[in-house]
A and B are shown apart, each in its own frame.
Chain A
Amino acid sequence: NAGVTQTPKFQVLKTGQSMTLQCAQDMNHNSMYWYRQDPGMGLRLIYYSASEGTTDKGEVPNGYNVSRLNKREFSLRLESAAPSQTSVYFCASSDGRGRGYGYTFGSGTRLTVV
């Protein structure tokens, strides 16, 4: 029972490099999310996908793109990494039924941009 799987767990990038964070869930959830966690700021929503084929901006979308590849997978791409994107990134999924149940987080990716 894997839940939400994120890869990689750690990554160091140089400024200007690109990378994609991968996320997959095996709970048949409709909705998926990408959050970033910074000290003193809690978790902030970057992008979300309410259902397969749809994506929407969250609170802090600048510098990121996402792809909902299928119902299971939701990737986050940094096209040109900047030091301000140093953070811990969490993928999450939910059943999308609106009751707040079944919200499941991945174990996070610690990204450092130097």
Chain B
Amino acid sequence: AQTVTQSQPEMSVQEAETVTLSCTYDTSENNYYLFWYKQPPSRQMILVIRQEAYKQQNATENRFSVNFQKAAKSFSLKISDSQLGDTAMYFCAFKSNFGNEKLTFGTGTRLTIIP
């Protein structure tokens, strides 16, 4: 079974700074998908970014980018020019390329942006 580990339960950073959230995972598969989800206080789960394992290029969505290191099984999220609205729980998630589409989540990182 796959596992996803987020080793930083909480982080805080000053507004406008850059912050990196760590995620490692364990799988024996070669093709799979990785995701970062944001959960603000509203509780809604919001997809931030998606990475396909067979693609070498790191995914980018505006201020959000990932550093995908397949050999190291690492998938970190970088938030540039952080904003107060980035304050949220962030979850890393894994999806196998086989079978159904269930997601395996990490335990989350609570990020606080300080004004």
Contact = CB atoms under 8 A, between A and B. Distances in A.
A56 B100 CA distance: 10
Contacts of A31: 100-101
B105 A43 contact: yes
A91 B103 CA distance: 12
- Counting chain A CB atoms within 10 Å of each CB, the highest count among B33, B35, B101, B108 belongs to B101
A43 B91 contact: yes
Interface residues of A, number: 27
Contacts, number: 56
> Is chain A's binding surface mostly helix, strand, loop or mixed?
strand
B95 interface: yes
Interface string A72-111: 0000000000000000101010101011110101011010
A110 B42 CA distance: 12
A98 B4 CA distance: 19
Interface in A20-34: 31, 33
Given A33-B102, A42-B107, A98-B101, A108 B43 contact: yes
A42 B47 contact: no
A58 interface: yes
A99 B42 CA distance: 27
Contacts of B108: 40, 42
Interface of B: 4, 6, 9, 33, 35, 42-45, 47, 50, 52, 91, 95, 97, 100-108
Interface of A: 31, 33, 35, 40-45, 48, 50, 56, 58, 88, 90, 92, 94, 96, 98-101, 103, 105, 107-108, 110
